[in-house]
Amino acid sequence: MENTTEKTLGAAEPAELTEPIDSTETAELTETAKSMDMLKLMEQRHSVRRYSDKAIEPEKVQLLQAKIDWINAETGLVFKLFTEEPEAFKANKPSYGSFKGCRNYFALGGRKGDDEKVGYYGELLVLLAQELGLNTCWVALTFEKSVVKKVFEDGVILFDVIALGYGEDGGVPHRSKAPEKLSNVTEDSPEWFKRGVEAAALAPTAINQQKFFLELKDGGVKAKAFIGPCYKTDLGIVKYHFEMGAGREIKWL
């Protein structure tokens, strides 16, 4: 009779040892995978100004509120989420400026000098909303400020709001400047910097001005904003995109 026990034991013997796994290489592969997921999300996200009357599901509202609570606790910012509130964008009217039917929004409050931080963490919410299947649009002017400002205590500045909800469509891509116009990237730049610049080029900026420049220098990145509408807030948005695209912690110079 054939000895199946011996065969089974033999099959379980260790295989010949291969070269040890390079932990640095593994970390780089993980960074790349995460950043590619974020880049895909950024490519899918476009500004949307016309919304359907579909309500945001309670579980999604809870996730967004939990993230806002974390942001406020960690940063000192004063972000608020409003759902089914029609007054800020006059949702009951056929249209309001370029907006239609917007009943949900983030209100982004903070203190003097928080512009960049508002942009950074506001964009975190934008991409979380995109991941949840929701549409968004950064708004600095076309909303009823008096309606929104009254919910903030004295000393808190209302910087912007972000329209939120289910769009009538997914929006359209905006034109981006070439990477070489936005940074000092070259063919020889490290891959993480190239990915970061690619992500930064997808960042929403006021009137699509893209008034920023990213410079790789001494292992860190110097981000410069040029004067224009909301340019400080835009720089925060750009930095968030860059970090997520690079897939690593960045030393900002």
What mean pLDDT comes out for the span 20-29? 62
pLDDT of residue 24: 62
The one-letter amino acid at 105: Y
- pLDDT confidence bin for 22, thresholds 50/70/90: low
181 neighbors 220 (Cβ within 8 angstroms): no
pLDDT of residue 1: 44
Cα three-residue angle 76-80-85, rounded to 5 degrees: 170
The model's pLDDT over 36-93, given as tens digits with 9 standing for 90+, comes to 999 999 999 999 999 999 999 999 999 999 999 999 999 999 999 999 999 999 998 8
pLDDT of residue 244: 97
pLDDT of residue 82: 98
The model's pLDDT over 234-243, given as tens digits with 9 standing for 90+, comes to 999 999 999 9
How far apart are alpha carbons 52 and 102 in whole angstroms? 8
pLDDT of residue 28: 72
pLDDT of residue 89: 96
15 has pLDDT over 60: no
206 has pLDDT over 50: yes
pLDDT of residue 6: 38
14 has pLDDT over 60: no
Overall fold of domain 174-246: NADH Oxidase (3.40.109)
The one-letter amino acid at 143: F
Domain boundaries, the chain: 58-165, 174-246
227 Cβ contact list (under 8 Å, min separation 6): 211
What mean pLDDT comes out for the span 83-107? 94
53 Cβ contact list (under 8 Å, min separation 6): 101, 103
pLDDT of residue 11: 39
Looking at every residue in the chain, the average pLDDT score rounds to 91
DSSP character at residue 114:
-
Same fold, 58-165 and 174-246: yes
- pLDDT confidence bin for 7, thresholds 50/70/90: very low
pLDDT of residue 181: 98
How far apart are alpha carbons 237 and 240 in whole angstroms? 5
Overall fold of domain 58-165: NADH Oxidase (3.40.109)
What mean pLDDT comes out for the span 19-42? 75
End-to-end CA distance of the chain, in Å? 75
CB atoms within 10 A of CB 237: 26
- For a pLDDT cut of 90, what percent of the chain falls above it? 83
How far apart are alpha carbons 203 and 231 in whole angstroms? 12
Tokens representing residue 49 in the block: 């100004």
